[in-house]
Amino acid sequence: MTTPSLGPTGSPLKSPYLSPGPGRGSALSILWRRAISTSSVAWAWALLIPSLLLVLGIIVYPLVTGVNLSLHRVILTRLDLGRPFVGFDNFLRMLSDPVMGFAWLNTLFYAVVGVGSQFVVGLIAALLLNRSSTRMWIPRTILMLPWFLPPIAAAYMFAFMIDPRYGIITRVLGVVGIDIGGQGVLANPTCAIWGALAVELWRGYPFFALFLLAGLQAIPTDLGEAAAIDGANRRQYFWHVVWPLLRPIVIVSTLLDGIRLATSPVMLLLLTNGGPGNSTQVVSLYAFQQAYQRFDFGYASAISVALLVAITGFAMVYVRINSGRGK
């Protein structure tokens, strides 16, 4: 067994090849940190690239394609015309299109009344279901059933229920003395949009009830006890304690549902297809008809881009105003 060489003071001699030397340890530490930092950044980018590709493929590419189509004349039934660049002619065409005026007004009415009615019914349902009981899962599950039903099933089910000859709702209304006429609700220019809104109400209020019930369940019970000790009644407790806590949920849920009603023409397409006349015509449905019934994809894209700009502007203003009030 060999013993290490000792120096004059009795301490072991150190090899100059093993000694880090002045500043060599700190340099190695810096290089090691840089290597770790570089590998962390590379790993982060490796995780982000699939998501970025997904965003580019699902959001950016369709958006750019839609804007590009809106600047061209693209009519699939007239392929001989080619695809000429027309600039803003498709947007200017909207200004002279008489249907667009009805469509914008109906879109605003449909979104505002739809969101308002669904929110009120959803809030009432959430307040009724906000109970601490082991059996509350049963009514809560029943509450969500309309939301689970596909739109096409809900539309045709209600269309049959309000049929002027065989509909059960029509017969019940007739028994209580309410006559909806021989043409029915959906064929009446005055009542058609209200019939579609009724179907949207039945199918859409669970969306608000679920959001608001989750918000109510998150409110600590100590706040209610403190408010009761201070002498607040139920109305005061709701407006001064519950409502401020629910405000962020209300802002998000109403905005999301408003965007859905403004951009999704599924229910109106299935129930009325914009009729009778243009009484239930909305912008999103009109764009769909231009694209897939008249095959004018250039004009349909211009309508869709205009709707996108309008909704984006409204959403920014809506969030900004409500955020300012929250402060």
pLDDT of the chain, 327 residues: tens digit per residue: 455 555 555 545 444 444 444 455 566 666 666 666 667 777 777 888 888 888 788 888 888 999 999 999 988 888 878 889 998 999 999 999 999 999 999 999 999 999 999 999 999 999 998 887 778 888 888 888 888 888 889 998 988 888 888 888 888 877 887 777 667 788 888 889 999 999 999 999 999 999 999 999 988 888 888 888 888 888 888 898 889 999 999 999 999 999 999 998 899 999 999 888 889 999 999 999 999 999 999 999 999 999 999 999 999 999 888 876 655
Owner of token pair 């005061």: 236
Structure tokens at 276: 């009778």
**Dist CA 207 CA 60 (whole Å):** 28
Contacts of 107 (CB under 8 A, 6+ apart): 262, 282, 283, 284, 307
Reading phi first (left if > 0) and then psi (alpha if -120 to 50, else beta), residue 3 is in beta
Q: Calculate helix-pair angle for 283-292, 243-263, nearest 10 degrees.
A: 30
**Dist CA 182 CA 274 (whole Å):** 20
Which has the closest alpha carbon to 185: 202, 203, 169, 201?
169
pLDDT, tens digit, for every residue of 104-113?
A: 999 999 999 9
Residues in the chain: 327
CA 153 to chain centre: 22
Q: Let me know: does 304 contact 69? Beta carbons within 8 Å.
A: no
Identify the burial level of 151 via C-beta atoms within 10 angstroms of its C-beta, where 0-12 means exposed, 13-18 middle and 19 or more buried: middle
Structure tokens at 201: 């109400």
Q: In degrees rounded to 5, what are phi and psi of residue 190? A: -80, -35
Q: Let me know: does 34 contact 27? Beta carbons within 8 Å.
A: no
pLDDT, tens digit, for every residue of 120-161?
A: 999 999 999 888 777 888 888 888 888 888 888 999 898 888
**Dist CA 130 CA 53 (whole Å):** 42
Whether residue 146 is preceded by a cis peptide bond, meaning omega within 30 degrees of 0, is no
Owner of token pair 């009120």: 120
**Dist CA 309 CA 317 (whole Å):** 12
